[in-house]
């Protein structure tokens, strides 16, 4: 019984820790900067990423 309780407490602590990390991450990731070296394949990839990030907000 004690092992089940200890596992439950560890799981709850792990879940709370990941929520705090996720909340702290949002402010740092608001501005996305992408480099453009001028290569055709990277221009396409950067354009797709830009459109997707704009749609996500």
Which tokens in the block code for residue 23? 């909340």
The tally of domains found in the chain comes to: 1
**Does the pTM exceed 0.85?**
no
Residues lower than pLDDT 50 in the chain: none
Full domain range(s) for residue 23: 2-56
Distance of CA 31 to CAs 12, 14, 28, 42, Å?
32, 28, 8, 20
pLDDT score of 36: 79
When computed from its CA atoms, the radius of gyration of the chain, rounded to whole angstroms, is 20
């Amino acid at each position: 019984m004690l092992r089940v309780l200890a596992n439950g407490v560890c799981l709850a602590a792990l879940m709370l820790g990941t929520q705090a990390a996720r909340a702290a991450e949002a402010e740092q990731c608001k501005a996305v900067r992408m480099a453009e070296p001028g290569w055709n394949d990277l221009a396409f990839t950067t354009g797709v990423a830009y459109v997707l990030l704009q749609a996500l907000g």
